[in-house]
Amino acid sequence: MKSREIHVWEEIKEDFEDKLVLGNGASISVWDGFKYDSLYDKAAGSRSFAPRLKSLFQEFKTRDFELVLKQLRQAGIVNQLLGLKETKTHELYDLLRDALVKTVSSTHPEQRDIQPCLSRIAGFMSRFGTVLSLNYDLIVYWAMLRGNTLFGQQFKDGFVDNGMFRDDYETLYPPYGGATKTTMVFYPHGNLILATIMDLDRFGTEIKLIRPDEQAMLRHSIIERWEKGDVVPLFVSEGDTDTKLKAIKRSSYLQVAYSELESECDTVVLYGFSLGDDDEHILRALVKSRPKRMAISIHVAGGDAEAKCEEVGHKVRKACLKLSKELNKSVSPEIIFFDAQSPGCWRNR
């Protein structure tokens, strides 16, 4: 790391155009309702979260809603096929699904609540070839839709009209529909817009949920599908870095999205990403992409910015050193810090 100087985004933006990674800080800056330690803690703190649900998470040794919902759904299907008449798995599934619906409903904004930010977010994302969001919320998806009305069909996520992900998504990179470039968007930790089908005939198929018609509100459409019980949401809600990586490996889509973190590039921008221990797998994947430069946002207000730079820089250098030894090649990107609240970046004017 050459310097602990903290730049404003406008000073460095021309040097970064390859890969943008968005952490929870990006979502919190848009909506304070996302400011909680974990989705599980938020749900478990509610009176409607039954003690037996807590016991279930403890038994599975996880805080991942998607995993527990899948296990309950699979158990119910197996019992049905074996002709075993029981109701507990279905009751627990319904209770947990309802708890998740209530928690998401209480924390997630409607699109109209954040509409003024979406054009600015789309403009920021549009300069990058690849955007990877680690957040489950719909902010990035809504910004994509807004961006495509401004720039033509620039933003693509690899999912086609039937909701299926295209294995040959690389063929989507050529611009069309009035766009001059393409920005591909991936969700390595999943997203509310994604789901796994639980019906017997298509069990395990991963899809993107779409609105039944243009008038339907997306968030409500998603919740309605959950309530029908034929899908479970595909997002990694909690867990330490090893648990998250296991969840990623259970999903064909999440594996593809994670591989995009590792794909080689010259420049990476991290915005709102704290580089915490629970996301060590993300940092490792980014270092594996062997960028020449990494720009990392720092929240300057309310703390010692220099100490933050030192802490973050140490984590990146440590990850680079470890990978350098494994590959027997030097991995040493230039690390540049910029003020997360400076003009022109993310949602800032």
pLDDT tens profile 30-83:
998 888 767 888 888 888 798 999 999 998 888 888 788 888 888 888 888 889
Average pLDDT over residues 286-298: 96
**Is this model's pTM higher than 0.95 or not?**
no
pLDDT at position 338 over 60: yes
Mean pLDDT of 211-233: 77
- In this prediction, residue 286 carries a pLDDT of 95
Rounded average pLDDT over 200-219: 77
**Torsion-angle region of residue 83: left (phi > 0), alpha (psi -120 to 50) or beta?**
left
Examine the pLDDT at 93 and tell me if it is beyond 70: yes
pLDDT score, position 257: 98
What is the model's pLDDT at position 297?
Answer: 97
8 A C-beta contact, residue 274 and residue 25: yes
Integer angstrom CA distances of residue 17 from 39, 147, 155, 266: 32, 17, 15, 9
2 has a pLDDT exceeding 60? no
Mean pLDDT of 166-185: 94
Class of residue 250 by CB neighbours under 10 A (exposed 0-12, middle 13-18, buried 19+): middle
Q: pLDDT value at position 238?
A: 67
For 6-31+111-192+240-339, the fitting CATH number among 3.10.450, 3.40.50, 1.10.1760, 1.10.720 is: 3.40.50
Query: In this model, does residue 212 exceed pLDDT 70?
Result: no
Q: What is the structure's pLDDT at 327?
A: 83
pLDDT interval class at 213 (50, 70, 90) = low
Q: Regarding predicted confidence, which is higher, 345 or 240?
A: 345
CA triple 291-293-296, angle to 5 deg: 110
pLDDT band at 1 (very low <50, low <70, confident <90, very high): very low
Q: Where in the chain is the domain with CATH 3.40.50?
A: 6-31+111-192+240-339
Task: Give pLDDT tens digits for 8-24.
Answer: 999 999 999 999 999 99
C-alpha closest to that of 284 among 315, 239, 240, 249:
315
> Residue 211 corresponds to which amino acid?
R
User: What is the reported pLDDT for 138?
Assistant: 94
Residue 223 vs residue 3, higher pLDDT: 223
Bridge partners (DSSP) of residue 130 are 19, 184
Residue 224 has pLDDT above 90, yes or no: no
pLDDT score for 229: 80
d(CA 236, CA 64): 6
Taking only the tens place, the pLDDT of each residue in 250-286 is 999 999 999 999 999 999 999 999 888 889 999 999 9
Chain-wide mean pLDDT for the chain?
A: 90
pLDDT, one tens digit per residue, over 97-118 is 888 888 888 889 999 999 999 9
> Using the 8-state DSSP alphabet, how is residue 303 labeled?
S
